[in-house]
């Protein structure tokens, strides 16, 4: 059989439900807000970084245009044009030293960090300075470079590429290349190379602070890295995949995995229509979402604080709702034992106030009903007691009187006198009008008088054993508690045993605040099935019909349970002696007034009151006496 789980209190259910709702709301809020805020922040960052990269690309273009303009002023100078034209036409040997000095003077006034390097059509070289030199020493080396042929396709425009230069060693440089035309006939008279150290771009980039930390690369049209904030990357070939993606018409802001570090980053770029260069910026994903993370941390703290406040408020309102309900439930639980009612209280909730009012009204009606039933029960128990006292074992009384008569006839008047006195005391004790509570010692004396008459009848055929623990003589018990149980053993156990000695054993002891009284015999006993049926009948507190002539074991068990409650009462068992056994349990209480108060209080809790107890106590004392009732119990 499956165990029924204990239901949860309303307070716990409300708290648990609110907690789950809060967690669900927080989780959904986190999910949707994080997605929305992340996408918003990403879009905003894409716009800002794209604008920053475009500004950087424009500044680089401005720098290159300045060098282009400076070079244009130089190559179209009349002296330079005349020298290159005369050298091209072979009219006279050009003055290379004088031209070099002239170029140096011009560039010194225009841009001191720039190298102007010229080749005439005969391959002779001219330079504005020796401090910064073209890496390739002669025309043939220059003509062998892959991008040299592209100069002819630029239609007079400058081709800007990466290339090495020499200044106390090889350094990275920016090279601008262009064909020089004669100003008069537009024939090509030489080649122009403008050389600028890459450090010049670094100064431009430093003047453009980024919105977030980034890595910057500048790539020429050939796919070479002209500049990078990582110096080791300068002069290397760009990532082929990235170069192909940028060369197409894809988005200006996208997700990418770097070739060098293998990290996932965001990439944005800007192409220059003038130089053909591409300025690329790489942004760490963590840097992009740093503001979102901080913002969401603050939002999460706010949500958590709100959820905690909501739980506190729900807990408070739930407590104000469940507290009166709990008090009402406790009052109902104590109703059967104490008859209490809830205190009159004012509640903010109309429903709770109405519930208390209806409950108090129900208690008033229930009290009236209990009073009526108590009066009826008292009347019934009084009638039963009168009937039992009136009949007091007619069969036993007849046998006792008959035995006294034959004892006198047998010439034993002294014994007959003792038997008469014992029978009188027995009758007086059973119908005494005083309290139905007596000491255990008094009830044992009554039992001894009963056994005296039985010995006179049966002689030495039976033995009686009594074991009583010390200190129990003043224990308060029902009047005639033991005699009916012993008489029951005679009538339904021993008298039906055809042969052998008879034995009745009574053991009275205490354990854990409870008195245990056991009566067992070695009579015929009871079949297991019938014993189980009788136990079930007693457990159900099924009371016999009044017409059966008495109150049996079930009634005794019912009275004990009514007065003292579980676990006190009767327990039946098959005796190791071979017959039948009964164990009766009562709470220990040696004080007379306390014992009577407890019985009276228990009787009122059962709805019978003190008068009901007085009647039922005598009925319990006569348990099993009536012949019809005893037969049913055994």
pLDDT in tens, 427-481: 887 777 666 678 999 999 989 988 998 888 888 888 999 999 998 999 988 777 8
Q: Which residue has the higher pLDDT, 606 or 61?
A: 61
Distance CA 507, CA 511 (A): 13
The count of C-alpha atoms lying within 13 angstroms of the C-alpha of 571, restricted to the half-sphere facing its C-beta, is 11
CB atoms under 10 Å from CB of 527, counted, come to 10
Nearest to 580 by CA among 535, 625, 536: 535
The enclosing H or E element of 192 equals: strand 188-197
Mean pLDDT within 604-617: 32
Query: What is the pLDDT confidence band of residue 589, given thresholds at 50, 70 and 90?
Result: confident
Nearest to 228 by CA among 238, 213, 243: 238
Tokens 């107890």 belong to 613
3-state SS, residue 185:
coil
Could you please report the per-residue DSSP string of 396-409? HHHHHHHHHHHHHH
Instruction: Read off the pLDDT of residues 32-70 as tens digits, 9 standing for 90 and up.
Output: 776 676 777 767 777 778 888 888 889 899 989 988 988
Instruction: Read off the pLDDT of residues 96-113 as tens digits, 9 standing for 90 and up.
Output: 888 888 888 887 766 667
Instruction: Read off the pLDDT of residues 281-295 as tens digits, 9 standing for 90 and up.
Output: 888 877 666 666 666
Angle at alpha carbon of residue 489, lines to 487 and 494, rounded to 5°: 115
Q: Are 491 and 628 in contact (CB under 8 A)?
A: no
Q: What percent of the chain shows pLDDT beyond 90?
A: 16
pLDDT higher than threshold 50 for residue 610? no
Give CA 274 to chain center in angstroms.
65
For the chain, list the domains and their CATH numbers.
46-288 (3.30.450.20), 372-633 (3.30.565.10)
Residue 284 is predicted with a pLDDT of 80
- Highest mean pLDDT (candidates 202-216, 263-277, 355-369, 386-400): 263-277
Distance CA 628, CA 65 (A): 131
Residue 12 is predicted with a pLDDT of 72
pLDDT higher than threshold 60 for residue 545? no
Distance CA 8, CA 162 (A): 78
The count of C-alpha atoms lying within 13 angstroms of the C-alpha of 62, restricted to the half-sphere facing its C-beta, is 8
Angle at alpha carbon of residue 217, lines to 214 and 220, rounded to 5°: 160
Distance CA 310, CA 553 (A): 61
Instruction: Read off the pLDDT of residues 137-158 as tens digits, 9 standing for 90 and up.
Output: 899 999 999 899 998 888 878 9
State the greatest distance between any 2 C-alpha atoms of the chain, in Å, as a whole number.
190
Q: Which residue has the higher pLDDT, 117 or 363?
A: 117
Distance CA 10, CA 573 (A): 45
Mean pLDDT within 493-498: 87
Residue 191 is predicted with a pLDDT of 92
Residue 419 is predicted with a pLDDT of 86
Residue 581 is predicted with a pLDDT of 93
Query: What is the pLDDT confidence band of residue 603, given thresholds at 50, 70 and 90?
Result: very low
The token duo for 231 is 């110096």
Instruction: Read off the pLDDT of residues 318-367 as tens digits, 9 standing for 90 and up.
Output: 777 777 777 777 777 766 555 555 556 666 667 677 777 777 787 778 77
pLDDT higher than threshold 60 for residue 534? yes
């Amino acid at each position: 059989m499956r165990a029924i789980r204990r239901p949860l209190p309303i307070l716990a259910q409300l708290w648990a439900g609110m907690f789950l709702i809060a967690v669900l709301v927080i989780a959904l809020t986190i999910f949707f807000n994080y997605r929305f805020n992340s996408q918003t922040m990403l879009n905003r960052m894409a716009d800002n970084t794209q604008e920053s990269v475009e500004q950087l690309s424009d500044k680089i273009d401005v720098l290159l245009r300045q060098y282009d303009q400076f070079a244009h002023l130089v190559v179209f100078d009349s002296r330079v044009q005349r020298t290159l034209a005369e050298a091209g036409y072979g009219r006279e040997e050009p003055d290379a030293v004088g031209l070099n000095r002239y170029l140096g003077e011009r560039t010194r006034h225009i841009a001191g960090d720039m190298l102007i390097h010229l080749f005439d059509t005969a391959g002779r070289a001219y330079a504005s300075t020796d401090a910064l030199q073209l890496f390739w020493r002669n025309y043939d080396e220059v003509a062998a470079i892959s991008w040299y042929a592209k100069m002819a396709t630029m239609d007079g425009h400058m081709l800007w590429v990466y290339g090495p230069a020499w200044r106390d060693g090889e350094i990275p440089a920016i090279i601008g290349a262009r064909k020089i035309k004669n100003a008069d006939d537009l024939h090509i008279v030489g080649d122009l190379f403008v050389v600028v150290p890459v450090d010049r771009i670094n100064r431009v980039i430093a003047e453009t602070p980024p919105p977030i930390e980034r890595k910057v690369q500048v790539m020429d049209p050939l796919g070479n890295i002209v500049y990078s904030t990582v110096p080791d990357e300068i002069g290397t070939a760009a990532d082929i995949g990235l170069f192909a993606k940028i060369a197409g018409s894809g988005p200006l802001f996208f997700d990418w995995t770097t070739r060098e570090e293998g990290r996932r980053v965001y990439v944005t770029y800007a192409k220059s229509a003038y130089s053909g260069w591409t300025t690329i910026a790489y942004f760490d994903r963590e840097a992009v979402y740093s503001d979102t993370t901080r913002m969401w941390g603050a939002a999460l703290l706010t949500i958590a604080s709100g959820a905690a406040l909501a739980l506190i408020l729900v807990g408070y309102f739930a407590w104000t709702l469940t507290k009166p309900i709990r008090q009402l439930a406790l009052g109902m639980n104590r109703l059967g034992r104490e008859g209490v009612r809830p205190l009159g209280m004012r509640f903010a909730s109309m429903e709770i106030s109405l519930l208390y009012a209806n409950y108090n009204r129900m208690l008033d009606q229930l009290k009236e009903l209990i009073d009526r039933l108590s009066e009826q029960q008292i009347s019934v128990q009084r009638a039963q007691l009168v009937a039992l006292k009136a009949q007091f074992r007619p069969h036993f009384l007849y046998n006792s009187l008959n035995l006294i008569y034959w004892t006198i006839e047998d010439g034993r008047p002294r014994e007959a006198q003792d038997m008469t006195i014992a029978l009188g005391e027995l009758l007086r004790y059973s119908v005494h009008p005083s309290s139905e509570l007596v000491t255990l010692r008094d009830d044992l004396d009554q039992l001894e008088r009963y056994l005296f008459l039985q010995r006179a009848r049966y002689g030495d055929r039976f033995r009686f054993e009594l074991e009583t623990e010390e200190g129990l003589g003043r224990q308060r018990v029902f009047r005639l508690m033991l005699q009916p149980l012993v008489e029951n053993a005679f009538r339904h156990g021993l008298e039906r045993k055809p042969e052998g000695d008879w034995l009745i054993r009574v053991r009275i002891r205490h354990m854990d605040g409870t008195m245990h009284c056991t009566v067992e015999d070695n009579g015929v006993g009871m079949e297991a099935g019938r014993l189980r049926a009788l136990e079930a009948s007693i457990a159900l507190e099924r009371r016999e019909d009044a017409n059966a002539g008495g109150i049996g074991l079930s009634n005794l068990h019912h009275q004990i349970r009514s007065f003292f409650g579980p676990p006190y009462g009767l327990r039946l068992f098959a005796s190791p002696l071979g017959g039948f056994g009964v164990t009766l349990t009562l709470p220990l209480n040696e004080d007379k007034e306390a014992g009577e108060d407890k019985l009276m209080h228990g009787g009122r809790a059962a709805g019978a009151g003190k008068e009901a107890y007085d009647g039922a106590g005598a009925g319990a004392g006569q348990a099993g006496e009536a012949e019809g009732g005893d037969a049913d119990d055994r």
